[in-house]
Structure 1
Amino acid sequence: MSPNNTGLPPRNRGSVKSDKQPSKQSPKKKKKKSAFKTFLKFLLIIIILAILSVAIYIGVLWKKADSGVLNTGNNTPVPAERSAKVKPITMLLLGTDYRPETGTHLSDVMMVMAFNPDTLSATVVSIPRDTKIDLEGYRENKANAFYPIYLSEEKKSGEKAEDRMKKMLGKYLDTPIDYVTVLNFQAFRDAVDALGGVQVNVDMNMCYKDTADGTNINLKKGPAELNGKDALDYVRYRKSNCRPKTQASDDFDRNKRQNEVLHALIDKMQSLSGISKIGGVLDSMDKNLEMDIESDQLKNMISTYWKISKDNVKFMPITGNWKSPYVYVSDGEISKASQALADEIAGKADHSADSTDEQTKP
């Protein structure tokens, strides 16, 4: 700020003659600080901090990818025309129920995501875990049962379980899937804790206890900041065995909560506090994450999508009819999900409203 912008005449560098000599006893008047100037200085500091934070965010992501901390195990070069910077890509995200206390690998979270670099947007299709998969060439089963079966058959089949999941769900949604990421429940808990928790609006009271795997869900309806354990309980909750019992929920409720938590995590990670914790988040995820994406492609994704807005991430949960033990999904519902992914890849997706708000349970 200019020192002249004070409402006082400018000072000369030399001595200033005055017609009136001030009394030696006269106290000097303190200049009154401008509230507007104080605000501008504060705003400037915030802007500088924001710029530095973004730079740190990019730097941390890039350094971790470049140094191999997020080592994908795939160093195959990526041709320029296949770079995520210029080409839409699809990815399967599997969230398994593996935790040290269970050792199981059911894929309770299944999402197929399409990313478009031109529109800087993404569409996420979530598949209910109990969906009945009945495809030609595949044995009929629940959607979440395929991954552990494929894991047990890797030596016999000679094919990685992750590759078989890409093929199977790619056929189910009529969408070629480029990459797969497997993230277990422990990674989810650690990532939320590394961010300092996540804010959600718990939609109902939830109570369930299982001494076999240490599950102890006890959540109250209303706004809450959840730690990693409670956030996992929130997205997993199915039924109650407490007294008094709390209301049960189904796959569609859980998909809605998954989307809510993902939106909240995007908010948290893009905040100043979240940016400062991104290193810890990535470290915690890397310990419990597998992916087949090329290392160079991972860098391409980081540099392209780090600033994606949550408003440009469209969640589209597949819905169907529950009839124990399956969720039955209509051909029309599958076609709608397939078309949403195709529209994202083609740059035609409508992100004006989140489709999760438009979905109704059958």
Structure 2
Amino acid sequence: MNSNHTNLPPRAKSGGKGKKQPVPKKKKSPWKSFFKFVLIVLLIAVLAAAGYAGYLFVKGNQVIEKSGIDKPVAPGQSAKEKPLTVLLLGTDHRPETGTYLTDVVMVATMHPETNSSTLVSLPRDTLIELEGYKSSKLNAYYPRFKAAYNAAEKKEPGSGIPAEEEMKVMMSKYLGVNIDYVTVIDFQGFRDVVDTFGGVDVNVQYNMCHRDSVDGTDINLTVGPQKLDGKKALDYVRYRKSMNCSPKTKESNDFDRNARQSEVLHSLLDRMKSFGGVTKVGNALDAVSDNMTTDFEQQQIRDLLMTYYDIGKEEVKFMPITGEWRSPNVYINNDELDAARQALQDELAGKHNAQGTEADSKATP
């Protein structure tokens, strides 16, 4: 699997004859950054250097065989010929906590003829009120479904349906599209990938301290440029507010957190592109496969790679849905939700429209 396309945004250029004009700084969407990370996780072999492609092709196949389901793709269902809808979940699962709250919930539609995608994201605290389901925060459903499935396996009252399948059914109903596949990536996978590439370089803008013995959180970062390992990089992007610390440190809003996520992801990309990073891609592939759950068939993953390996940022429409925070829930904007539903349906119909992403511009820091 070989490509010279990195899909990285081009560097801004300035200069020319006469007075130098300031180049306006383009706002980056945190959801765009996360989606790029998901693509990196799934397509990391494609982003590596050409000289390493032979090894990565073999290694990539090993990961595909370990991650994907060993069954054939149904006739007419290949990503090469059929538009697909994928549910992407990022959970807070770590060995020390055992929790499965979904901090990231996204739905992506992709069309092979237009080589394009529409990505909708929902706030983790969105209050879901849907017929057939008990009203709750969006991020609570996956662990609830998981507990019900585990109970059934122990011959106790439970659903007997995998949590991933339950999430597909619920989100299909909520967004009005049929979701074909689901991929779940956990915090441990993020930490392992960062450690594989030797950490990330960031500039911590202010001290961050948060300690919570209940979930094992122990964030203690000091201001200044530094290299962070996987654990501290996760602390850096997760930090919200100070707790059990003296003196208390400055609180962090969602815009601050999104900017830090983008900073970490760009640093990780730089390390992946370096020669030293290329030689570590195989280990990163192992880290990804060990911390990812998906119901993609092995061949379907290969079909995705072949079909969308060169998708550019211009062909991806990002629609993070916003809302109003009224503790403890987010009440989403219904107009934005309706627009997102329509955009997903349009993508599946081959009517990709990269314009009209007002929600995206509102959500950027």
Q: TM-score, normalised to structure 1's length?
A: 0.73
1:195-206 superposed matches below 5 A:
195-199=197-201, 205-206=207-208
Where does residue 129 of structure 1 map in the other structure?
124
Where does residue 34 of structure 2 map in the other structure?
none
- Contact between 1:116 and 1:347, CA under 8 Å: does it hold in 2? no
Report the CA distance between 1:192 and its aligned residue.
1.9
Counterpart of 1:51 in structure 2: which amino acid?
A: A
Task: Identify which of 244, 248, 252 aligns with 1:249.
Answer: 252
Where does residue 112 of structure 1 map in the other structure?
107
Query: How has the CA–CA distance of structure 1 residues 52 and 219 changed in structure 2, closer, same or farther, with 3 Å as cutoff?
Result: same
Say which SS state the counterpart of residue 182 (structure 1) adopts.
Answer: strand
Report the CA distance between 1:166 and its aligned residue.
0.9
Query: How has the CA–CA distance of structure 1 residues 123 and 184 changed in structure 2, closer, same or farther, with 3 Å as cutoff?
Result: same
Where does residue 354 of structure 2 map in the other structure?
350
- Contact between 2:90 and 2:185, CA under 8 Å: does it hold in 1? yes
Say which SS state the counterpart of residue 141 (structure 2) adopts.
Answer: helix
Task: Identify which of 94, 98, 123 aligns with 1:99.
Answer: 94
- Contact between 2:85 and 2:109, CA under 8 Å: does it hold in 1? yes
Measured in 1, the distance between the counterparts of 2:121 and 2:313 equals 16
Report the CA distance between 1:179 and its aligned residue.
0.6
- Contact between 2:97 and 2:216, CA under 8 Å: does it hold in 1? no
Report the CA distance between 1:257 and its aligned residue.
4.9
Given the alignment of the two structures, is residue 73 of structure 1 paired with residue 72 of structure 2, yes or no? no
Given the alignment of the two structures, is residue 60 of structure 1 paired with residue 59 of structure 2, yes or no? yes
Say which SS state the counterpart of residue 132 (structure 2) adopts.
Answer: coil
Where does residue 140 of structure 1 map in the other structure?
135
Per-residue CA deviation, residues 12-46 of structure 1 (Å, 9 max, x unaligned), is xxxxxxxxxxxxxxxxxxxxxxxxxxxxxxxxxxx
Query: How has the CA–CA distance of structure 1 residues 352 and 136 changed in structure 2, closer, same or farther, with 3 Å as cutoff?
Result: closer
Say which SS state the counterpart of residue 67 (structure 2) adopts.
Answer: coil
Measured in 2, the distance between the counterparts of 1:77 and 1:211 equals 46
- Contact between 1:78 and 1:296, CA under 8 Å: does it hold in 2? no
Measured in 1, the distance between the counterparts of 2:282 and 2:106 equals 25
- Contact between 2:336 and 2:359, CA under 8 Å: does it hold in 1? no
Say which SS state the counterpart of residue 108 (structure 1) adopts.
Answer: strand
Per-residue CA deviation, residues 201-233 of structure 1 (Å, 9 max, x unaligned), is 656543212234432223456765433212222
Where does residue 168 of structure 2 map in the other structure?
166
Report the CA distance between 1:96 and its aligned residue.
1.7
Where does residue 15 of structure 2 map in the other structure?
none
- Contact between 2:322 and 2:359, CA under 8 Å: does it hold in 1? no
Say which SS state the counterpart of residue 157 (structure 1) adopts.
Answer: coil
Query: How has the CA–CA distance of structure 1 residues 234 and 116 changed in structure 2, closer, same or farther, with 3 Å as cutoff?
Result: farther
Count of matched residue pairs: 309
Query: How has the CA–CA distance of structure 1 residues 231 and 344 changed in structure 2, closer, same or farther, with 3 Å as cutoff?
Result: farther
- Contact between 2:241 and 2:252, CA under 8 Å: does it hold in 1? yes
Measured in 2, the distance between the counterparts of 1:352 and 1:265 equals 30
- Contact between 1:252 and 1:317, CA under 8 Å: does it hold in 2? no
Counterpart of 1:71 in structure 2: which amino acid?
A: S
Task: Identify which of 213, 222, 237 aligns with 2:239.
Answer: 237
Measured in 2, the distance between the counterparts of 1:313 and 1:263 equals 18
Given the alignment of the two structures, is residue 281 of structure 1 paired with residue 272 of structure 2, yes or no? no
Query: How has the CA–CA distance of structure 1 residues 355 and 59 changed in structure 2, closer, same or farther, with 3 Å as cutoff?
Result: farther
Query: How has the CA–CA distance of structure 1 residues 167 and 258 changed in structure 2, closer, same or farther, with 3 Å as cutoff?
Result: farther
Report the CA distance between 1:137 and its aligned residue.
1.6
Report the CA distance between 1:123 and its aligned residue.
3.4
Report the CA distance between 1:299 and its aligned residue.
1.4
Given the alignment of the two structures, is residue 339 of structure 1 paired with residue 335 of structure 2, yes or no? no
Where does residue 51 of structure 1 map in the other structure?
50
Query: How has the CA–CA distance of structure 1 residues 297 and 360 changed in structure 2, closer, same or farther, with 3 Å as cutoff?
Result: closer
Say which SS state the counterpart of residue 247 (structure 2) adopts.
Answer: coil
Say which SS state the counterpart of residue 95 (structure 1) adopts.
Answer: strand
Query: How has the CA–CA distance of structure 1 residues 328 and 104 changed in structure 2, closer, same or farther, with 3 Å as cutoff?
Result: same
Structure 1's unaligned 5+ residue stretches are: 1-48
- Contact between 2:184 and 2:292, CA under 8 Å: does it hold in 1? yes
- Contact between 2:107 and 2:120, CA under 8 Å: does it hold in 1? yes
Query: How has the CA–CA distance of structure 1 residues 62 and 120 changed in structure 2, closer, same or farther, with 3 Å as cutoff?
Result: farther
Worse overlay, 204-213 or 93-102: 204-213
Counterpart of 2:73 in structure 1: which amino acid?
A: P
- Contact between 2:242 and 2:250, CA under 8 Å: does it hold in 1? yes
1:272-351 superposed matches below 5 A:
272-309=275-312, 312-345=315-348, 346-350=350-354
Structure 2's unaligned 5+ residue stretches are: 1-47, 153-157
Report the CA distance between 1:355 and its aligned residue.
6.4
RMSD over aligned Cα atoms:
3.2
Report the CA distance between 1:53 and its aligned residue.
3.0
Query: How has the CA–CA distance of structure 1 residues 331 and 356 changed in structure 2, closer, same or farther, with 3 Å as cutoff?
Result: closer
